[in-house]
Amino acid sequence: MRAAEGRGTDVTREDRRPPAAELFDALGAEYEKAFAHAPAHRAALAWLIGRLPPAARTLDVGSGTGRPTAAALVAAGHSVLGVDVSPVMVELAARQVPGAEFRCADIRELPLGTGVFDGVCVFFSLLQMTRAEQSALLRRLSAALRPGGHLVLATVPADVTDAEVSFMGRPVRATSFAEDGVVGMAQAAGLTVLSRHGTVFTPDHPGAGPEPNLFLYCRRGASAEAV
């Protein structure tokens, strides 16, 4: 099961570093090699970019190395705030995508404001949070969108709570919802799920196997429409 991209808590004290920060500090560019080429991820990015106004303000939750998400948004002429709990990832991202802004912070605690973003990306950045934290964060992200703004969310749909799984050869603990639970969480956050896409992806990493991925294409304050 794929773990979260961006993920964690306060990193100002070493003894408070969350497992996610340690995991992604260790992975670094290896994570990008394994996942950046995922076709469904790039399709979701293209969908979002096609719906953003010119020079849109966007938020990348769990920004990782900055590629492909922040890089694609910057290349399309948009401003990007990337947030990740891993200082190694933030350093990589700042070097690889100098046109974006990156912060090493806990997205659960970072003030976001209301109605300030045109687009939000949440690619696999919830899986190391509890279900309550995932739901609360999605409500905050929805509120941070301007009315009519768009959000793309990707996760591993599975009815698991604090399950130990192997991720790129390392043991991690993951929590998620089954597909209908993910959709319900988005709807409860005030988002309209315009479309959902399930796929199977095999990371480019020794020993990796196929894993289910779910992508939700959402809009704040919209009635259902074709995508």
Per-residue pLDDT of the chain (227 residues; tens, 9 = 90+): 433 334 333 334 444 666 555 555 555 555 556 566 789 999 999 999 999 999 999 999 999 999 999 999 999 999 999 999 999 889 999 999 999 999 999 999 999 999 999 999 999 999 999 999 999 999 999 999 999 999 999 999 999 999 887 666 667 789 999 999 999 999 999 999 999 999 998 777 676 678 899 999 999 985 444 34
Whether 188 is covered by a domain: the verdict is yes
Which pLDDT belongs to residue 226? 38
Q: How many domains are contained in the chain?
A: 1
3-state secondary structure the chain: CCCCCCCCCCCCCHHHCCHHHHHHHHHCHHHHHHHCCCHHHHHHHHHHHCCCCCCCEEEEECCCCCCCHHHHHHHCCCEEEEEECCHHHHHHHHHHCCCCEEEECCCCCCCCCCCCEEEEEEECCCCCCCHHHHHHHHHHHHHHEEEEEEEEEEECCCCCCCEEEEECCEEEEECCCCHHHHHHHHHHCCEEEEEEEEEEECCCCCCCCCEEEEEEEEEECCCCCCC
Please report whether residue 46 resides in a domain.
yes
Q: Is residue 1 part of a domain?
A: no
pTM, 2 dp: 0.85
| Residue 76 covered by a domain | yes
| Model pLDDT for residues 61-82, shown as the tens digit of each residue | 999 999 999 999 999 999 999 9
Structure tokens at 165: 């799984």
Token couple for 175: 């929590």
Q: Specify the length of the chain in residues.
A: 227
Note whether residue 166 is domain-resident: yes
Question: Which residue shows structure tokens 């990348």?
Answer: 60
Q: Give me the CATH number covering residue 151.
A: 3.40.50.150
Instruction: Answer yes or no: is 3 within a domain.
Output: no
Alpha-carbon span 31 to 5, nearest angstrom: 9
Does 93 fall in a domain? yes
CA distance 216 to 153: 5
pLDDT digits (tens, 9 = 90+) for 188-207: 999 999 999 999 987 776 76
114 in a structural domain? yes
Range of the domain at 35: 14-220
